[in-house]
Structure 1
């Protein structure tokens, strides 16, 4: 039987964190892509303002933010009574996050598996 090398715990933890970070960024980019397809669209400024923030570590793991940066982004997101073109809607980020949850989890898991080899 072949010997299986055992990695030090610190090395395993570092690989896990690398995969977690990469997966979180991929998941956030997926949610952003979906949200951009739903964001109210007049001239495209709001859609183009969407961005994924740089990942940072917390005590609970890695956090990656998704934001739309216009003075009216929050209002467009929250006003349920405003009329939008077909396929465009309020709650564009919230619904994208919910709808892409399974895909996001799969992207994170895949990135962790790849990092662990």
Structure 2
């Protein structure tokens, strides 16, 4: 069972990277600081994509703000846009371990 768990974690790690890259593309860009702040964390069959800057959450939620490059809900929209690919990446990692 350990090889399957390890493969699932690798799949989650890879899937988090897929979401991270999509989110970076969607993140508003004025100075690039917010785009550079995107990170992933994982462990215990979980993975997360997050932004750590103090203004990241507000920037994400303010749908009324105009952005020349990027959009509000950049992380949420990235998850939605990549949901099928995320599932495929995780499934492929597990299949390879079987």
- Shorter-normalised TM-score: what interval? over 0.9
Deviating above 2 A after TM superposition, structure 1's stretches of 4 or more consecutive aligned residues are none
Q: Counterpart of 2:63 in 1: which secondary structure?
A: coil
What runs of 5+ residues in structure 2 fail to find an aligned partner?
Answer: none
May I ask how many residue pairs the two structures share in their alignment?
A: 98
The equivalent of 1:108 in structure 2 is 90
Q: Distance in 2 between matches of 1:85 and 1:38?
A: 11
Q: Say what the alpha-carbon RMSD is for the aligned residues.
A: 0.8
Q: TM-score, normalised by structure 2?
A: 0.96
Q: Which position in structure 2 is the counterpart of 1:69?
A: 52
Q: Following TM superposition, by how much is the alpha carbon of 1:50 offset from its aligned partner in structure 2, in angstroms?
A: 0.2
Tell me which structure has the larger Cα radius of gyration.
1
Higher-helix-fraction structure: 2
Task: Please list every run of 5 or more consecutive structure 1 residues that lacks an aligned counterpart in the other structure.
Answer: 1-12
* 2:43 aligned residue: 56
- Cα displacement (A) at 1:19: 1.0
Which among 63, 67, 90 is matched to residue 84 of structure 1?
A: 67
> Equivalents in 1 of 2:47, 2:68: separation in Å?
29
Q: Which residue of 2 aligns with 1:43?
A: 31
- Aligned partner (choices 74, 95, 99) of residue 81 of structure 2: 99
State the 1:69 CA deviation.
1.4
Aligned residue number for residue 4 of structure 2 = 16
